[in-house]
Structure 1
């Protein structure tokens, strides 16, 4: 067997699984399954299937998910760098599907890094509603913010906060909450041998303390009638069925929404909980679900859908949303905030910290500069409210006053910087656009060397007639560079050359 499993883990699974134990252990001799999920913010599933460079097989529980052959290396293709798909373990695609997200929802991804599930949520929102995505570890928010930007998300706020601080700012606000809980990681032993080696130190007991606290706080974040999806990638009943039993006992206004008929899921196992007589309505737990690696093509996962049928009273009597239809890029926010934003180099969110300007004049100048840029370079009205942190300009889907006192990594869509009254567009502005949103565009062939050369930051020879212009526009100015028609970054054409504006921190580094 390739994976060295902890002896205590093996013995526990032998006791739990009985006659299925041999099949479970045999799954560890198989190679892990590789999956990609189509980013429908940029391309439809049907369109991607037509142009896919890989052989695709559908993943049963995710309409946008596909298995790709082991060893196909989907990270080494221009389409990956254009944000057309996210590389994701197939089972990890299931929890977001269970949230049943609809455009306009207010969604919180509470333990979000590196951002795979957040980008899946954003694709389902299709630019409407709001996504607040959070991770308590500052270092991990770098990857989270970059993935939000690479995949063209316009309506997300990225936080680096503890759950209780978020609950203070957003009491009973979200109608969908995802808790991809920190866990002992038993379901990922086949994919990541480090998890098997660290199992004893990253113990079930330590994880249950964190999970219990996160679930408790999540109930304060949920709006009446809202849904929490709790998921782990572990097999331990203490982290799964028993955790849900404790939550239901402490929160009688919640019920389990059964996963009956959901593809791939086996029923939960309430009989595995010690001292079952302590918990009322324990049979509800059969409505939770498990993805078993010996029954499906994927790693191990647990999920529970919890709906709140209670009443939040007066705590919901406030409005922190900013209706997109009422705001434009040219509108001045005119508010003062104390929120902090982690600044970033080359769009990556690496280092430094900036404080939102306390002067309405700074936001007025930035809004005017952005509006001038948009009028001359873009063909769409940017959603949200213009918010300034230092020299950086964002379009926020929320009233920025509601972020006061929170550690904010991104208050919204990072669209550019303003210096000396002049606006320079950001790379995340480009990645969230569509080809027809720009006054100028240049299409690169994804199968040709020039696409990779662009992604490596090289200057390219370019005939003038390849610059596609809106009627009346000149070739001077920013051009949206598209790989096979899908936005990938900025460039400027001049005298037969394409000046590359692809930021250094994002460039293709593979041979």
Structure 2
């Protein structure tokens, strides 16, 4: 199965190919990927998303960036700019009017088809661009739960939510996405969850969120870290709530109810309406990621991307994340699985394994993909973006629906 062939006609990109080491070329060959995919990476545009409500300020933003914002006609709210343009020091970025996000990543969010009132789970939320886009799409309805295993990366998500003033309906958990097991609160008051003991102690009820933790919270966090015997570990042994908005369903809820874990039966009726699993991967399809190794050194790339043991561990992790995300989905809900890898082993192979083990999972067509600059994946109804075809970073998308037994 040759996954390098584009389905969209057009001129060949004549820019030079990024110098790739022989080990990476061999990696591409083993995965049936044509190195021409990486032709002209330095000409692929940068993408930004405009925060809703700032459409009237496009001219001002163009003046500040000193470039034309080209509207991405197949993805609402997205614009392309020349790849050399930096946005981090601009007022538009600092004031929360724009943020950087690849168009392919935006497509993964759009594939979820978030609607009014949805309760959404972003199971691998860091670094936060997709989380922010989901929050924008929800507006003044529903809730969104962000999960990531790395505390510092999820703290960056929290900063983004506050910067863009879209955190009112969000809650963030530092947790292992393969075992995370909390369902959304479906009202803004404390609701009794089946199987959770009743607890009315005022001290155990969540008040308005504050960045200042109580002495008890700090003590409990220290205990959790000590239990791992590694105070510098990024992985937490127990879920930790590091942020919640006033309308996320947490305020007024008891700790006992919030941290009540659920089984597959309960999550089928009380779970999330939409789940995004943008899984950890080798990032071999990410334009910006690949380019960094020209500076970091290709031996680092060899260690982080090409190591066979790491790749095998990643596919196991990806399947576990997809399986747990689907477990937390309510019947009738939909899940999007995505990676920024171009390899079959991290995409189609994971999907095939998942489908073989989950009879309640139905692979769905991504309706909006007919408008996208993408191509079909190796499995019917899956979608692929790559630099050559789409002028974006590489991305794989598969969408599932949970059906009744």
Which TM-score tier does this pair reach, normalised by the shorter chain? Answer: 0.5 to 0.7
Report if aligned partners of 2:277, 2:336 keep a CA contact under 8 Å in 1: yes
Distance in 2, Cα, partners of 1:124 & 1:61: 17
Distance 1:309 1:192, change over 3 A: farther
Residue 238 (1) aligns with residue 345 (2): yes
Report if aligned partners of 2:104, 2:394 keep a CA contact under 8 Å in 1: yes
Match for residue 355 of structure 2 among 248, 262, 270: 248
Aligned ranges 1:322-471 → 2 under 5 Å: none
| Superimposed CA distance per residue, residues 265-303 of structure 1 (whole angstroms, 9 cap, x where no aligned partner) | 21111xxxxxxxxxxxxxxx2210110111111111111
Distance 1:25 1:17, change over 3 A: farther
- Give secondary structure in 2 for the equivalent of 1:294: helix
| Superposed displacement of residue 57, structure 1 | 1.1
Distance in 2, Cα, partners of 1:49 & 1:87: 15
Residue 64 (1) aligns with residue 77 (2): yes
- Give secondary structure in 2 for the equivalent of 1:158: strand
Find the counterpart in structure 2 of residue 39 from structure 1.
51
| Superimposed CA distance per residue, residues 208-237 of structure 1 (whole angstroms, 9 cap, x where no aligned partner) | 011111111112110111111000000111
Report if aligned partners of 2:374, 2:389 keep a CA contact under 8 Å in 1: no
Find the counterpart in structure 2 of residue 159 from structure 1.
173
Find the counterpart in structure 2 of residue 182 from structure 1.
280
Match for residue 142 of structure 1 among 155, 163, 171: 155
- Give secondary structure in 2 for the equivalent of 1:192: helix
Distance in 2, Cα, partners of 1:199 & 1:12: 9
| Superposed displacement of residue 310, structure 1 | 2.1
Instruction: Give the TM-score, by structure 2 length.
Output: 0.66
Higher strand share: 1
Report if aligned partners of 1:99, 1:176 keep a CA contact under 8 Å in 2: yes
Number of aligned residue pairs = 290
| Superposed displacement of residue 31, structure 1 | 3.7
Find the counterpart in structure 2 of residue 126 from structure 1.
139
| Superimposed CA distance per residue, residues 174-223 of structure 1 (whole angstroms, 9 cap, x where no aligned partner) | 01000110001110253432573421248321210111111111121101
Find the counterpart in structure 2 of residue 416 from structure 1.
none
Distance in 2, Cα, partners of 1:57 & 1:89: 14
- Give secondary structure in 1 for the equivalent of 2:125: coil
- Give secondary structure in 2 for the equivalent of 1:182: coil
| Superposed displacement of residue 55, structure 1 | 1.2
Report the more deviating stretch, 224-233 or 302-311. 302-311
Aligned ranges 1:84-233 → 2 under 5 Å: 84-153=97-166, 154-163=168-177, 164-167=179-182, 169=261, 171-172=267-268, 173-188=271-286, 189-193=289-293, 196-197=301-302, 198-201=304-307, 203-233=310-340
Report if aligned partners of 2:273, 2:330 keep a CA contact under 8 Å in 1: yes
Find the counterpart in structure 2 of residue 264 from structure 1.
373
Report if aligned partners of 1:32, 1:190 keep a CA contact under 8 Å in 2: no
Find the counterpart in structure 2 of residue 492 from structure 1.
none
Q: CA RMSD in A?
A: 2.3
| Superposed displacement of residue 253, structure 1 | 1.5
Residue 292 (1) aligns with residue 397 (2): no
| Superposed displacement of residue 148, structure 1 | 1.0
| Superposed displacement of residue 93, structure 1 | 1.7
Find the counterpart in structure 1 of residue 404 from structure 2.
310
- Give secondary structure in 2 for the equivalent of 1:10: helix
Distance in 1, Cα, partners of 2:370 & 2:277: 22
Distance in 1, Cα, partners of 2:392 & 2:340: 11
Find the counterpart in structure 1 of residue 28 from structure 2.
13
Instruction: Give the TM-score, by structure 1 length.
Output: 0.53
- Give secondary structure in 1 for the equivalent of 2:388: coil
Find the counterpart in structure 2 of residue 52 from structure 1.
61
Distance in 1, Cα, partners of 2:57 & 2:146: 27
Distance 1:141 1:16, change over 3 A: closer
Distance in 1, Cα, partners of 2:342 & 2:73: 21
Larger relative contact order (CA 8 Å, sep ≥ 6)? 2
Rg comparison, structure with higher value: 1
Distance in 1, Cα, partners of 2:155 & 2:35: 41
Find the counterpart in structure 2 of residue 502 from structure 1.
none
Distance in 2, Cα, partners of 1:242 & 1:17: 14
| Superimposed CA distance per residue, residues 105-136 of structure 1 (whole angstroms, 9 cap, x where no aligned partner) | 10011101111000000010012100111111
